[in-house]
Structure 1
Amino acid sequence: MITVENLSKTFQGDSGPVVALRDVTLDVPTGTITGVVGPTGSGKSTLARLLALQERPDSGVIRVDGYNTSGLDPRRLRAARRRIGVVRHGDLLAQRTAAGNIALPLEQAGVDGPQRREKVGRLLDLIGMTDKAAHYPEALSPGQLARVEVARALVGEPGLLLADDPTAGLDTDGAAGVLTVLDRARAELGATVLLATPDAGVVRRVADDVALLTDGQVTESGHLLSLIQDPTSAVAQALLPEVDAPKALRARHERLAEVVLVGFAAVGALLPEATSRFGTAISVVGGGMTRIGETPVARFLLGLSGAQADSALGWIAERGGKVAAHDAAPRQLVACA
């Protein structure tokens, strides 16, 4: 477990002090991918550097497995840094192959040839590039280069992997490949991953936990699937489909309700069963479906007609759906369950 407690960091800018982080508190659970999402300038890169122990905070504490890293002597600090892998962009050596770039940290550490080859081979398999081992950077696509950068960060078997905007500048396929590698690093190597990104879609794809960073402050954090079930959550607003619908379409229904459904069973079965059980006509007026990792999640604006519409909504809520009711001529959102 990595714990950040009341972390603050200020830099001296051209026109005076610039506050990068303000009193940030955050847990990064062991064996998870934690996504830190926020716009440019929100403090994501500063937080990543502090967690990599490359810089010291002005105040606050970073604890790794309960140990306060600010109290480490130089020797123990170097040892702690070796347990942290940092994905570095754009500094693969042009004169080295993909395998050679991955092997470089092992060579510098004096690891013998057979052990180096074994480790590099495992990582090439992890990133799906065994057939590209002998290719030089100029022959690789941007997505492949990014995967090699992740592999090189993993070669020391770090407990914590830091990836600061690892999908920047990549096309859809390239970004998907990098995120798959990060997910495999967590699942197969047991690495704890902290992923900083401005792209909420990246978090939706691979994160277990999430923190929203705005102007150097954490405005919301927690387990992703828990947060998205709260329609008022900033995470839900950022990651789930919008539920807007024309007024004319809304007016066709006696009742309107916003519903969040999580999981295959809920998304596939609750609405049809509620329709049958309560004799209520239920239509999807707005919203849509997405996936959080491999879990389907629906956020619908429902239109309901029938004497038992409220009972149908209550029944959906009792079975795990998150329901918020609207009037057909919309007024303020009121929590139903």
Structure 2
Amino acid sequence: MITVENLSKSFWGNTGPVVALEDVTLDVPTGTITGVVGPSGSGKSTLARLVALQERPDSGVIRVDGFNTAALDPRRLRAARRRIGVVTQGDLLPQRTAAGNIALPLEQAGVDGPQRREKVGKLLDLIGLTDKAARYPDTLSPGQRARVEVARALVGDPGLLLADDPTKSLEADAAAGVLTVLDRARAELGATVLVVTSDAGVVRRIADDVAILADGRVAESGNLLSLVQDSTSQVAQSLLPSIDVAKGASAGYDRVAEVILIGFAAVGALLPEATARFSTNISVIGGGLTRVGETPVARFLLGLNGLRADQALGWITERGGVVRPQVGLARSIAA
């Protein structure tokens, strides 16, 4: 577990001190993928350097497995740094092959040849580049180079894998390949992963937990699926389909409600079953479907007609749907 408590960091700029982080508190639970998302200048790269123990904060505490890193002596601090794998960008040595780049930290640590080859082979398999082991960086695609960089960060069996904008400047397919590798690192190697990114799509694809940084502060944080259930949250606004409805499209319904459905059963079955069970006509006026990780999530604006429309909405709520009636967009149901 990595815990950041009341972290602040400032730098001296041309016009005086610049606050990069202010009173930031964040938990990175063991065995999860946590995404920190924010625009350029929000402080996310500064946070990444501090968590990697590459810099010290002005105030606040970073705890690794419960230990206050500020209290560690130099030897124990070096040991703590070795437990953190940092994914660098554009830092592969051109004169070494993909396998050679991955093996470099092991060589520097004095690991013998057979052990190095076994470890590198496993990581090449993890990133799907076994057939590219003898290729040099300039013959690899940008996405392949990024995957090699992830493998090199994993070679020391870190407890925490930290990736700062790992998909930056990559095309969609290449970015998806890098995210798949990060997910496999968590699932197959047991690594805890912290991804810092400006792309909310990265969080939607692989994160379990999320924190939004804005102007050096945590604006919102928590479990991703829990946050998307609240359509007013910043996470939901960033990740869920928007509801764009033409003027007058919601007229003529007894009830109008925004509904969020999570999971295969809810997305696939709740609305048809509510229609049949309560003899209520349910129409999707706006919204759409997306995925959070492997979980389907729907955000719909529904129009309902029928004497039991309210009961249908209540039943959907009882089965895990999040229902927000839209007051003023519906006519009264006759008694």
- Encode CA deviations 1:266-285: one digit per residue, 9 max, x unaligned: 00110001101111110111
Unaligned 5+ residue runs, structure 1?
A: 331-337
1:217 aligns with 2:194: no
TM-score of the superposed pair, with normalisation by structure 2:
0.97
Given residue 325 of structure 1, which amino acid in structure 2 is its aligned partner?
A: P
- Encode CA deviations 1:48-72: one digit per residue, 9 max, x unaligned: 0000000000000011111101100
> What's 1:333 paired with?
none
Contact 2:35 2:207 in 1 (8 A): yes
Given residue 273 of structure 2, which amino acid in structure 1 is its aligned partner?
A: E
The Cα shift of 1:243 comes to: 1.4
TM-score of the superposed pair, with normalisation by structure 1:
0.97
User: Secondary structure at 2:286's aligned position in 1?
Assistant: strand
The Cα shift of 1:151 comes to: 0.3
Contact 2:260 2:298 in 1 (8 A): yes
The Cα shift of 1:37 comes to: 0.4
> What's 1:201 paired with?
201
> What's 1:178 paired with?
178
Contact 2:159 2:191 in 1 (8 A): yes
Number of aligned positions between the proteins: 330
Q: How does 1:77-156 map to 2 (within 5 A)?
A: 77-156=77-156
Q: How does 1:231-250 map to 2 (within 5 A)?
A: 231-250=231-250
Contact 1:275 1:312 in 2 (8 A): yes
Distance 2:216 2:319 in 1: 38
The Cα shift of 1:253 comes to: 2.0
The Cα shift of 1:15 comes to: 1.1
Q: How does 1:280-295 map to 2 (within 5 A)?
A: 280-295=280-295
Q: How does 1:35-74 map to 2 (within 5 A)?
A: 35-74=35-74
Contact 2:255 2:329 in 1 (8 A): no
Contact 1:289 1:297 in 2 (8 A): yes
Given residue 200 of structure 1, which amino acid in structure 2 is its aligned partner?
A: A
> What's 1:22 paired with?
22
Distance 2:246 2:305 in 1: 18
- Encode CA deviations 1:22-41: one digit per residue, 9 max, x unaligned: 10001000000000001011
User: Secondary structure at 2:222's aligned position in 1?
Assistant: strand
Distance 1:306 1:10 in 2: 60
Given residue 50 of structure 1, which amino acid in structure 2 is its aligned partner?
A: L
Distance 1:75 1:328 in 2: 65
User: What value does the CA root-mean-square deviation take over the aligned residues?
Assistant: 0.9
Distance 1:327 1:228 in 2: 22
> What's 1:319 paired with?
319
Contact 1:278 1:309 in 2 (8 A): yes
Contact 1:204 1:293 in 2 (8 A): yes
Task: Report percent identity of matched pairs.
Answer: 79
User: Secondary structure at 1:248's aligned position in 2?
Assistant: coil
Distance 1:75 1:268 in 2: 55
Distance 2:73 2:244 in 1: 56
User: Secondary structure at 2:187's aligned position in 1?
Assistant: helix
Unaligned 5+ residue runs, structure 2?
A: 331-335
User: Secondary structure at 1:249's aligned position in 2?
Assistant: coil
Distance 1:14 1:155 in 2: 40
The Cα shift of 1:19 comes to: 0.3
Contact 1:247 1:329 in 2 (8 A): no
Given residue 119 of structure 2, which amino acid in structure 1 is its aligned partner?
A: K
**Which stretch shifts more, 175-184 or 304-313?**
304-313
> What's 2:279 paired with?
279
After TM superposition, where is structure 1 displaced by more than 2 Å over at least 4 residues in a row? Answer: 327-330
> What's 1:298 paired with?
298
- Encode CA deviations 1:161-194: one digit per residue, 9 max, x unaligned: 0000000000011000000000000000000000
